[in-house]
Structure 1
Amino acid sequence: MAAKFGTSGLRGLVGELTDGTAAAHARAFARHLKQAGMAAAGAPVFIGRDRRASSPEIAAQCAAALFDEGLEPVDCGVLPTPALALYAMGQEAAALMITGSHIPDDRNGVKFYRPDGEIDKTDEAAISGLAPQCAGLPSTRAKLMRDRSLEANAGFIERYRGFAPDGLLHGLRIGLYEHSSAANETLAAILQAEGVEIIRFGRSPVFIPVDTEAVSEETRALASGWVQSEALDGLVSADGDGDRPMVVDESGRVVRGDALGLIVARYLGADAVVTPVTSNSGIDSRCDAAVSRTKVGSPFVIAGMADAVARGRHCVIGFEANGGVLTGNSIRVGNADLSALPTRDSVLPILCAFAAARQAGQSLCAHVSGLGLPVAASDRIENFPTAESQALVAHLSQDEAMRQDFFEPFGQVAHVDLTDGLRVVLESGNILHLRPSGNAPEMRVYSEAATEALARDIIAKAFARIRQVAHP
């Protein structure tokens, strides 16, 4: 079973999942739920999926596995991950989302949800421990599943009704880059209900892996072109399973995900913010909330949020550099009552970004500029073997002489942070962060500098340096 848990769910090549591995983990999840008293015999487990070609087959195999373990698989069709999580939590039931999120179509994954929300690292360990004994067991196809796709999508749309009262968003013209996202219809419906005119672009019959944390130059050019040609107030999109947003301002510039998270925290009046170490360093000083930093991955953010709630915080917000926002408490916004949703959601940051700008009487571009965040950039080296990226970062972290040599072209290292990967602060104040991806064979690279050009130049030079050291 080559597929394994990454920063958010089980991930692997399609063939590593359809060979029975996804089904074995679904069986293991069912056994874990029953052993932990989270599901009784015959309990429903809701199953959603993204638009990848392999997702229907993986969903069918997981449904069969759940059925054979005495649970009832319920079909929720194609829908955003947060919509599935919200619906399942409302039914006090577990859920599986078949998705590889933003990674290429030759890969896929499974996200697991307990009746009270996304699983944590303890659950992951339990499922991983049970999966080997579930591998290779004979399986039957599940009986015809109940279809709850309409209810699940409708509930998510209803969640945001009245979010922006008094016509706050009325009259905005916003583009929607559809590509192959599972969030297309729900996102359009939510924005239209708030009086936004939606102009659709770029729907694709084949899966397109849009990474909102490392937006490709091709995607940036497409988005900017549409915004400029149609004189839009902005453009929005989401990744494959609709839990990570992409927001483009009226100038055609992509708004970074951590800037969106900061806007959400300020707009909702958060008193606690939990975000990974990869998020912009300026967040801590630019909101009134207490800010705590974690490793990358929603399980770590959720654990930090749970701690904040336990300490009596009343408005707990979590977000990642990819823009996905999580909520730890029930929050009233406008005329909408948002129940706690401790899983990434792309809709909340999109709504908050335009609402905050409108409320301040600013364009989105001006509002983001007014945050005063340091300039940050991020990108990735694709098809970089995970073992190689982990070994390189480990060597640089442990060997000071090697580290000094590696970073010599960038300047003297003033501070080292090993929370997740290797993050160095240089004497110049610039930041360079290397982190092996937990979801795919990629090396993630983050930077902060005085200008965007310099931040991107640092990443380009880091790419060259990584390749030079890894393949001399």
Structure 2
Amino acid sequence: MALDLNRIIKAYDVRGLVPEELSPTVARAIGAAFARTVVLPEASGETRPAVVVGRDMRDSGPELVDAFAAGLTAEGVDVVRIGLCSTDGLYHASGVLGLPGAMFTASHNPAAYNGIKLCRAGARPVGEATGLAELRDVAQTLLDAGDGDTVAPDGPGQVTDREMLGEYATFLRGLVDLSGIRPLKVVVDAGNGMAGLTAPAVLGTAAGLPELPLEIVPLYFELDGTFPNHEANPLEPANLLDLQTAVVANRADIGLAFDGDADRCFVVDEKGVPVSPSAVTALVGLREVEKEKAAGRTPAVIHNLITSRAVPDLLSAAGARVVRTRVGHSFIKAEMAGNEAVFGGEHSAHYYFRDFFFADTGMLAALHVLAALGAQQHPLSELGEMYEPYVSSGEINSRVADAAEATRRVLDAYRAAYPGIDVDTLDGVTVSNWDGHPQWWFNLRASNTEPLLRLNVEAADHDIMEKVRDDVLSLVRAETDEPAPGEGPDETGETA
């Protein structure tokens, strides 16, 4: 009996165990379904349609790519393989070549997993509401029939190989000029992921570009999909410890950590203290806002609803039109395109740029942070203080039997204690006293895939944050099991 693809094709991408769930047979069916549902319907007819395909360092990648390519070529679609790359490297290729794309990666998931991130030409996303559900149904039909082969009217497609790392590095450097900054010592933790390839190319001279005023101290640059040193998921605090130690030991100015497919970037200051993604969103957003204003344009910036209130406060004061959106990259990408936004940021360290095809790229965010740090003499710890004026709890997960009932308990209690309190339901419930005293807000939202409620709290000071946090948790957990292990969302807003 064929695998139920609902197990591995989710809201944003494909992700599954290899080969139990994601096998060459499944990859071939997904390739054929991608051709039928996305590639061929959008083809111009002037040239043979093509798809650009990349992969990360996982051992299962080459075989899965070949199978996926076979599914595409059987439908008469050409394949341009760009080999090892980061996910934002694939987006760059899709953008500059004007082709739909497929990136074989399981991001920060353990070595036993692999997956596929799909996009239309120009790096436009393919998610559940934008074609992935239809693709899943077609692929399921092919698997159930046991034969996905067709005869393309013009014969099978062709597979070619193309090297694009140098073009990717040149493109990013063209967006942020680091040539005039003060010298910086930078520790980069690649986690044995794709930043081991992209960091030397963009920040160094591996792609043949001129030397920058950066001294790079590498950690775990060896590409190894078994992740022998630590998981390539910097959102988990334990995975930042090596970077924090190395920054202090090397007296570095800054530390950068990337996830497995190197599309997310996390920042550590010279004291080894993590800089929150909200602070990075504000810092980078202000740079992009000023660039837009200098060009005579009114900038729009996107942020999700659990980033710090400092983000809309600072960006609005700088003259930006700030748009608040739900958690999840498909939502923020849609808002980016719909609002012609110059920049967007999420709490999960995804950063989106209009000048990068409205797609997310951790490396471009890193370049902006390096430029801001190197353009002045203060250490990053001092520079970052202006972007983190408030205190947040981080995301806290609670396992509950009935998420709706637990949420109702919290709302009833707060509406009774604070008549007229501000409540909105954009994504879960957000209860806010930000216009009152003391200032605080919290968001409580249910997981889409697990019996979990996720809590984020922010306040003007630490004592108030702790009081609100503990009060809400006591209500949530009044009739629940023990809290779920782990307190971090993954890149899609769901717990890893």
Determine if the TM-score, normalized by the shorter chain, exceeds 0.5.
yes
**1:37 equivalent in alignment to 2:57:** no
* One-letter code aligned to 2:308: N
Tell me the alpha carbon deviations over residues 84-131 of structure 1, each in whole angstroms, 9 at most, x when there is no partner. 111122111111011222233444321111112232532234323433
Please give the secondary structure, in 2, of the residue aligned with 1:247.
Answer: strand
Q: Which has the larger radius of gyration?
A: 2
Tell me the percent identity. Answer: 24
RMSD (Å), alpha carbons: 3.4
1:407-426 equivalences in 2 (<5 Å): 414-425=421-432
**1:127 equivalent in alignment to 2:153:** no
Q: Give the structure 1 partner of residue 295 of structure 2.
A: none
Distance (whole Å) between structure 2 residues aligned to residue 297 and residue 276 of structure 1: 8
Does the 8 Å CA contact 1:357/1:367 hold for their aligned counterparts?
yes
Does 220-229 or 244-253 show the bigger shift? 220-229
Assess, with a 3 A threshold, how the Cα gap between structure 1 residues 179 and 143 changes in structure 2: closer, same or farther: farther
Q: Give the structure 1 partner of residue 194 of structure 2.
A: 182
Tell me the alpha carbon deviations over residues 277-297 of structure 1, each in whole angstroms, 9 at most, x when there is no partner. 121122111012111111122
Of Structure 1 and Structure 2, which has the larger fraction of its residues in strand? 1
Assess, with a 3 A threshold, how the Cα gap between structure 1 residues 109 and 433 changes in structure 2: closer, same or farther: farther
Q: How far did 1:234 drift?
A: 0.7
Please give the secondary structure, in 2, of the residue aligned with 1:286.
Answer: helix
Q: Give the structure 1 partner of residue 207 of structure 2.
A: none
Please give the secondary structure, in 2, of the residue aligned with 1:221.
Answer: helix
Q: Give the structure 2 partner of residue 321 of structure 1.
A: 347
Does 125-134 or 79-88 show the bigger shift? 125-134
Q: How far did 1:392 drift?
A: 3.9
* Counterpart pick for 2:76 among 67, 70, 73: 70
**1:8 equivalent in alignment to 2:9:** no
* Counterpart pick for 2:394 among 367, 370, 378: 378
1:98-137 equivalences in 2 (<5 Å): 98-120=104-126, 121-136=129-144, 137=146
Does the 8 Å CA contact 1:436/1:444 hold for their aligned counterparts?
yes
Assess, with a 3 A threshold, how the Cα gap between structure 1 residues 144 and 194 changes in structure 2: closer, same or farther: same
1:67-216 equivalences in 2 (<5 Å): 67-120=73-126, 121-136=129-144, 137-138=146-147, 145-148=159-162, 151-161=163-173, 163=175, 165=177, 167-192=179-204, 193-203=211-221, 205=224, 206-207=226-227, 208-212=230-234, 215-216=235-236
Q: Give the structure 1 partner of residue 442 of structure 2.
A: 432
Please give the secondary structure, in 1, of the residue aligned with 2:116.
Answer: strand
* Counterpart pick for 1:27 among 11, 29, 32: 32
Assess, with a 3 A threshold, how the Cα gap between structure 1 residues 50 and 379 changes in structure 2: closer, same or farther: farther
* Counterpart pick for 2:338 among 307, 314, 326: 307
Distance (whole Å) between structure 1 residues aligned to residue 84 and residue 183 of structure 2: 30
Please give the secondary structure, in 2, of the residue aligned with 1:102.
Answer: coil
Q: Give the structure 1 partner of residue 491 of structure 2.
A: none
Please give the secondary structure, in 2, of the residue aligned with 1:160.
Answer: helix
Q: Which runs of no fewer than 5 residues in structure 2 stay unpaired?
A: 150-155, 205-210, 293-298, 483-496
Q: How far did 1:268 drift?
A: 2.0
**1:250 equivalent in alignment to 2:309:** no
1:213-224 equivalences in 2 (<5 Å): 215-224=235-244
Tell me the alpha carbon deviations over residues 406-461 of structure 1, each in whole angstroms, 9 at most, x when there is no partner. x89xx869333322233333685333333445688976442213456875797688
Q: Which runs of no fewer than 5 residues in structure 1 stay unpaired?
A: 310-314, 331-339
Distance (whole Å) between structure 1 residues aligned to residue 173 and residue 447 of structure 2: 36
**1:279 equivalent in alignment to 2:307:** yes
Q: How far did 1:39 drift?
A: 6.3
**1:363 equivalent in alignment to 2:379:** yes
Assess, with a 3 A threshold, how the Cα gap between structure 1 residues 4 and 420 changes in structure 2: closer, same or farther: farther
Tell me the alpha carbon deviations over residues 173-207 of structure 1, each in whole angstroms, 9 at most, x when there is no partner. 00011212212222232223432110011346323
Q: How far did 1:236 drift?
A: 0.6
Count, aligned residues: 441
Distance (whole Å) between structure 2 residues aligned to residue 465 and residue 53 of structure 1: 46
Please give the secondary structure, in 2, of the residue aligned with 1:471.
Answer: coil
Q: Give the structure 2 partner of residue 312 of structure 1.
A: none
Does the 8 Å CA contact 1:249/1:365 hold for their aligned counterparts?
yes
Does 369-378 or 157-166 show the bigger shift? 157-166
TM (norm. structure 2) is 0.78
Distance (whole Å) between structure 1 residues aligned to residue 98 and residue 305 of structure 2: 32
* Counterpart pick for 1:395 among 405, 418, 430: 405
Please give the secondary structure, in 1, of the residue aligned with 2:372.
Answer: helix
Q: How far did 1:364 drift?
A: 1.6
Distance (whole Å) between structure 1 residues aligned to residue 172 and residue 379 of structure 2: 22
Assess, with a 3 A threshold, how the Cα gap between structure 1 residues 23 and 438 changes in structure 2: closer, same or farther: farther
Assess, with a 3 A threshold, how the Cα gap between structure 1 residues 114 and 144 changes in structure 2: closer, same or farther: closer
Q: Give the structure 2 partner of residue 335 of structure 1.
A: none
Assess, with a 3 A threshold, how the Cα gap between structure 1 residues 453 and 250 changes in structure 2: closer, same or farther: farther
Does the 8 Å CA contact 1:94/1:114 hold for their aligned counterparts?
yes
Tell me the alpha carbon deviations over residues 270-318 of structure 1, each in whole angstroms, 9 at most, x when there is no partner. 5100121121122111012111111122221122122222xxxxx6212
Q: How far did 1:157 drift?
A: 0.5
Does the 8 Å CA contact 1:238/1:346 hold for their aligned counterparts?
yes
Distance (whole Å) between structure 2 residues aligned to residue 402 and residue 463 of structure 1: 9
**1:449 equivalent in alignment to 2:455:** no
* One-letter code aligned to 1:37: E
Q: How far did 1:163 drift?
A: 5.0
Distance (whole Å) between structure 1 residues aligned to residue 175 and residue 183 of structure 2: 15
Distance (whole Å) between structure 1 residues aligned to residue 404 and residue 9 of structure 2: 20
